[in-house]
Amino acid sequence: MPIPMQPGSHRHLARSAQNRESRIDLGAIGNEPGSKSSTAPNHLEQIARTAERISTSWKKLSPATDTGRDTKKGIGKQIEKATEPGMLKPSASAHRQTPPGVRAILLTVRHESPWKMYKQGYELKFEDFVTVAVGSSPNSGKVAIKNYKRREGEGILDMLNKVRHEKFIRVMEVFEWEQTYFAVFEHVFVSLEQVVACPAYPTERQLVAILAQILEGLCYLSSIGLQHGSLACSNVLLKPSGDIVLANQEYCCVAEEPNAADVRAVGFIAMELMQKYVKDDGAIGIENPNRWRGNSPSVGFLSMTTSAGSVTELQQHNLLQRSWRKEDLVLLEELASFSVRRAYRYFD
């Protein structure tokens, strides 16, 4: 009886003149009709030797590079699946383990109008106005759409594919239409700008929850040789779940100094959260010692932002070693969402 051939092995058999079809001669090992002793020791030894030769033959004939299979585990690995143009697809290295917190999906461009898929609702002001839209399919939810001139589109796409950490706002797809690129992001309504403007001051535990998540994203950027470069309260977003995500990652740049711009930006963000404003002279510091004691870890962290050499160094400060949960920010996000008036433009 012929041994079943593994997928892809016939190509190797055709290339090798020495390869022959492997067969088990049932008569030779005592399984012919009328055989009385198919389980005798000499027959069992002969079966074992034959099986070993066949096993060795298959190992030589079936390398993983041809079939896409892992010969050590015997499990097929999908290297890359064909995708429709414009859809998210696995990266070329998807078979390798993705680092923790990094999304394994790369973007491609859909060469069609985004307004076939989404209906514009209104524009909401963050640093700039972004279009809030809803998908045309049922239960698709709201998205935020930003547009870019075509000449910067390729650079935007490249950076969006480089920065795929979970602490950055999720980009869903990219369109190119009529000399313009459109990037579709998840919609997050509240930024730290609204948190600063709302009547409540964050507690120290809430401050830690915010800063720890910001620094997680910045340390990831540092690990791949980038810096945000334009971090501010208006592009640090707070989800209803308490998750902090950074926006404007498409404008990240190569870190010329050890994250100097990002270190200083963290100081300004912390200062705004702690006292609701920045100082007129541009210095970092707290002017109300009654709310934040001068010897508190929070003030010590703020002071460190004026001298730290990197965001990684900031992450080691003892303030960031305190316990926190993202759920600590849920009520703060809700208060900021309805207590602060926002700039918007409505599509009539």
Together in a domain, 246 and 328: yes
Does position 3 have pLDDT exceeding 50, yes or no? no
Question: 289: domain CATH number?
Answer: 1.10.510.10
**Same domain membership, residue 273 and residue 204:** yes
Residue 165 located in a structural domain: yes
Q: How far apart are CA 205 and CA 331, in angstroms?
A: 13
- Specify the CATH number for the domain of residue 139: 3.30.200.20
Torsion of the alpha carbons at 2, 6, 9 and 10, rounded to the nearest 10: 50
> What is the average pLDDT across 284-298?
90
User: In this structure, are 263 and 145 located in the same domain?
Assistant: no
Residues 157 and 196 in one domain: no
The two tokens of residue 275 are 């006292």
Helix (H, G, I), strand (E, B) or coil at 143: strand
**Do 140 and 232 reside in the same domain of the chain?**
no
Instruction: Judge if 137 and 242 occupy the same domain.
Output: no
Read off the pLDDT of residues 94-143 as tens digits, 9 standing for 90 and up.
445 566 778 767 888 999 999 999 999 999 999 899 999 999 888 889 99
Q: How far is CA 273 from CA 163, 215, 248, 282, 291, in A?
A: 26, 15, 20, 16, 12
pLDDT (average), residues 21-44: 45
User: Higher confidence at residue 76 or residue 59?
Assistant: 59
**Rounded to whole angstroms, how far apart are CA atoms 97 and 232?**
33
- Domain span at 254: 190-340
- Do both 169 and 255 map to the same domain? no
Query: Could you tell me if 334 and 195 lie in one domain?
Result: yes
Instruction: Establish if 259 belongs to a structural domain.
Output: yes
The last residue of a domain, from among 186, 217, 243: 186
Average pLDDT over residues 67-90: 38
DSSP tag of 169: P
301 touches 211 (CB < 8 A): yes
pLDDT > 90: what percent of the chain? 60
Q: Hey, is 166 helix, strand or coil?
A: coil
- CA 147 to CA 141: how far, in whole Å? 20
Q: Do the strands 180-186 and 142-149 form a parallel or antiparallel pair, or are they unpaired?
A: antiparallel
Q: To the nearest 10°, the Cα dihedral for 299, 301, 306, 308?
A: 160
Domain count, the chain: 2
Task: Choose the final residue of a domain: 186, 213, 234.
Answer: 186
Evaluate if residue 323 carries a pLDDT over 80.
yes
Q: Is residue 84 part of a domain?
A: no
What span, in angstroms and rounded, lies between the C-alpha atoms of 35 and 22?
Answer: 23
Q: What is the pLDDT of residue 105?
A: 75
